[in-house]
Structure 1
């Protein structure tokens, strides 16, 4: 997937143009100065899952198409210091020129949401 995805430790358990599910473990290397997971980590997970889902969906329509993120809006609901996380991405809109994906992250074993992001992608054609 790439060095940054490897660094974050994101492991994909499901990857399609309709749904992306990944597990990752939050820990001290991801902390901001107050000892909680940095918001940029959550934004990175949103960007990664939404982009891969969008890329997978578009490649089924145009194998040479590409996607690029044009807006990433992530809300943080609960601070976490570490532990296993599960993030799920689902499309809200998949059109000719743009896609919008919703990505939610939960701490494993907990029903409460940690972060929720929306990613807008631009579809690019050769």
Structure 2
């Protein structure tokens, strides 16, 4: 992904960094720090969901013709498995379904010890651009 596309976005505010971005796999790293903590000092579940949806959306975008279509998150779920206080987490999104009108992406978020922190699934809608 073009770094200028990340400027002034939630991804930039949360310190996300795209590691891999192709139509079959997106990996994003995010710090576990003051930007992503909840008040008790642990990784905020909402930050994990933001990471998951960002990865799924980038993957979906790489599977469309942006001159004719756009993608939008339709539904997301997340099971928070393990907590984190510091370091980084990495989200890896892979497609479970790539259709004409919808896509479903599975996202695994792991800590630096490669332990599962969050398991998410995101449905993305593919919408034709209005002429």
Unaligned residue ranges in structure 1 (runs of 5+): none
The 1-side partners of 2:67 and 2:25 are apart by 19
Shift of 1:43: 0.5
Q: Write out the 4+ residue segments of structure 1 that deviate beyond 4 Å after TM superposition.
A: none
TM-score scaled by structure 2? 0.88
> Post-superposition shift, 1:22?
1.5
119, 122, 125: which one pairs with 2:125? 122
Q: How large is the RMSD of aligned CA atoms in angstroms?
A: 1.3
> What TM-score do the two structures reach when normalised by structure 1?
0.91
Q: Is this contact kept in 1: 2:14–2:35, CA < 8 A? A: no
The offset of 1:28, in angstroms, is 2.5
Does the residue aligned with 1:75 lie in a helix, a strand or coil? strand
* Structure 2 unaligned regions, length at least 5: 1-5
User: Which is further off, 17-26 or 94-103?
Assistant: 17-26
Q: Does 1:70 align with 2:74?
A: yes
SS of 1:30's partner is coil
- Structure 1 residue aligned with 2:101: 97
1-side partners of 2:124 and 2:21: how far apart? 17
Matched residue of 1:66: which SS? strand
Higher helix fraction: Structure 1 or Structure 2?
1
Corresponding position of 2:35: 29
- 8 A contact 1:28–1:81 mirrored in 2: no
